[in-house]
A = this chain, B = another copy of it.
Amino acid sequence: MSSLQSTRFNSKLTSQCQSCSLSALCLPISLADEDVNRLDQIIERKKPLKKGEVLFHQGEEFSSVYAVRTGTLKTFNITNSGEEQITGFYCPSELVGLSGIDSNTYPVSAKALETTSVCEIPFSHLESLSSQIPSLKHQIFKVMSRKICDDQQMMVLLGKKNADEKVASLLMNLSSRFKRRGYSATSFRLAMSRGEIGNYLGLAVETVSRVMTRFQKSGLIHVDGKEIAIVNLPEMQKLVGITEECAKIEVV
């Protein structure tokens, strides 16, 4: 158990969730002001993580879920052969750590890909608060359900798609996540390296590089290091295929 006092980075009596620009994403529910305040009081805003710092380690006791406020996280397993297997990237407003509830242990590690600040949400507090606020409980169910959906789409991607479709899917997925937060859907900066993309997609680094070069040559995207611009959006969407369909369902 971490100390509320010692880790609190920015503590005020007024609700910070209410003034946070992400609240509409992080809490897409209409909580009464009073309820938001109650939620706000259990949340700790931690000191930002520097690139490469670890938020929690695989195997550690589960205590909190975390909402990313700024920056990007990756979650990963260490395989028995010692290599890293990335299982997800987390952008602002997204929750990380939910997979620890079942075993009361984080089954993955979470590491910052760049300077990243998070809100720590002690799960036991969240859970008891959710008993008192049904819409909050429903929201947690929804977030977890959404994660299950997304992971299953990822399973389809990994099992059925070729290298082009995988890379296109990741780029379009990131694009829609940027858009959701009000940023450009067609021009953004990758927080992760080519190696991390390949690791996540089940591709070799070289393949990721080749595919991106090829996409650029065919006028689908423009690549400048980590800066990506989607040039031919319709064609990219076509490449993504099935994932697209399910995105529709989810958006409803």
**B-binding residues in A (CB < 8 A):** 59, 77, 79-81, 85, 87-88, 98-105, 107-108, 127-128, 130-131, 134, 137-138, 140-149, 151-152, 154-156, 158-160, 200-202, 241-242, 244-246, 249-252
Residues of B within 8 A of A159 (CB): 85, 158, 200-202
Beyond known contacts A87-B156, A103-B149: 18 more, CB 8 A cutoff? A77-B245, A81-B241, A99-B152, A101-B144, A107-B250, A127-B137, A128-B134, A131-B131, A131-B134, A140-B141, A148-B148, A151-B152, A151-B155, A158-B159, A158-B202, A159-B200, A159-B201, A159-B202
Copies of this chain, count: 2
Residues of B within 8 A of A104 (CB): 252
User: What is the distance, in angstroms, from A204's C-beta to the closest C-beta of chain B?
Assistant: 11
Residues of B within 8 A of A244 (CB): 80
Residues of B within 8 A of A148 (CB): 98-99, 144, 147-148, 151
Contact A252 B105 (CB under 8 A): yes
Give Cα A158–Cα B69 distance, bound, in whole angstroms: 31
User: What is the distance, in angstroms, from A199's C-beta to the closest C-beta of chain B?
Assistant: 8
Contact A156 B77 (CB under 8 A): yes
Contact A241 B87 (CB under 8 A): no
Q: A127-B137, A127-B138, A145-B101 are in contact. Are A152 and B108 (CB under 8 A)?
A: yes
Majority DSSP secondary structure for residues of A touching B: helix
Contact B80 A241 (CB under 8 A): yes
Give Cα A144–Cα B127 distance, bound, in whole angstroms: 14
Contact A202 B245 (CB under 8 A): no
Contact A145 B242 (CB under 8 A): no
User: What is the distance, in angstroms, from A60's C-beta to the closest C-beta of chain B?
Assistant: 11
Residue among A140, A146, A160 with max Cβ neighbours from chain B (10 Å): A160
Q: A160-B202, A246-B107 are in contact. Are A141 and B101 (CB under 8 A)?
A: yes
User: What is the distance, in angstroms, from A69's C-beta to the closest C-beta of chain B?
Assistant: 22
